[in-house]
Structure 1
Amino acid sequence: MMDFGLMMFILFILGIVSLDVSMVVSLIKKNDERQQMIIWKASTYTLLIVVLTLIGDVLRNLFSNSYTGTNPLTFLTVVAIIYFITLLYYKKKYGN
Structure 2
Amino acid sequence: MNTAQAMPWWGWLFFAGFFLLLGLTGVMFVSILRQGDERRRLILLHAGSTSFSAFVGMLLLEIILGVAGSITQGIPMGEKNPLVLLMTAALVYCVSLCYYKRRYGD
User: What is the TM-score of this pair, normalised by structure 1?
Assistant: 0.84
Q: Which residue of 1 aligns with 2:57?
A: 52
CA distance 1:52–1:9, change in 2 (3 Å): closer
CA RMSD between the two structures: 1.8
**1:11 CA displacement:** 2.4
Equivalenced residue count is 96
Residue-by-residue CA offset, 1:30-49 (whole Å, 9 max, x unaligned): 11110111010010011111
- Select 2:24's aligned residue among 19, 36, 46: 19
Counterpart-to-counterpart distance in 2, 1:20 and 1:27: 11
Counterpart-to-counterpart distance in 2, 1:35 and 1:49: 21
Counterpart-to-counterpart distance in 2, 1:27 and 1:63: 37
CA distance 1:61–1:9, change in 2 (3 Å): closer
Secondary structure at the counterpart of residue 36 of structure 2: coil
Q: Which residue of 2 aligns with 1:80?
A: 90
Gaps of 5+ in 2: 71-75
What's the % identity of the aligned pairs? 25
